[in-house]
Amino acid sequence: MVRKSLEDLEEGLHLVVARPAGAAGTRARLRLMVALIEALEPRGDYAVTVEGGGLHCRFERAGDAARLADIVQAGSAGTESRVFVLDDRLRRTIRRALAQQAA
């Protein structure tokens, strides 16, 4: 599937925001979120960007955003977005799940 740039996804986006906590650096968090989203096999395009210290995961399809939000137990942050804390515990859980899926 072709991945569009953020500019291509500006209109009608569905947003899930990861607020960082813990020891991991921004690059590690970004790689982890991209790996998780790829493992979920989104049906539409998506983009992950670093904004204001958080990771903004924008999706073309509402179902793809909802699936990620459900998995990370994101809370509502308005009509169009969901937010969760990406702390060390959640990072370990995601890494284990991805490792199990790969096995």
- Per the prediction, the chain carries an average pLDDT of 87
* Close Cβ partners of 17 (under 8 Å, ≥ 6 residues apart): 54, 55, 56, 57, 74, 77, 81, 82, 83, 84
State the pLDDT at residue 24: 74
Nearest to 38 by CA among 26, 29, 47: 47
* Close Cβ partners of 28 (under 8 Å, ≥ 6 residues apart): 91
Lowest mean pLDDT among 32-36, 78-82, 89-93, 96-100: 78-82
Q: What is the pTM of this model?
A: 0.85
> Does domain 12-98 match CATH 3.40.50?
no
Share of the chain above pLDDT 90, in %: 65
Q: Summarize the confidence of residues 42-70 as an average pLDDT.
A: 92
State the pLDDT at residue 74: 93
Residue 99 predicted with pLDDT over 60: yes
Distance of CA 50 to CAs 57, 101, 102, Å?
A: 9, 26, 27
Q: Where are the domains of the chain?
A: 12-98
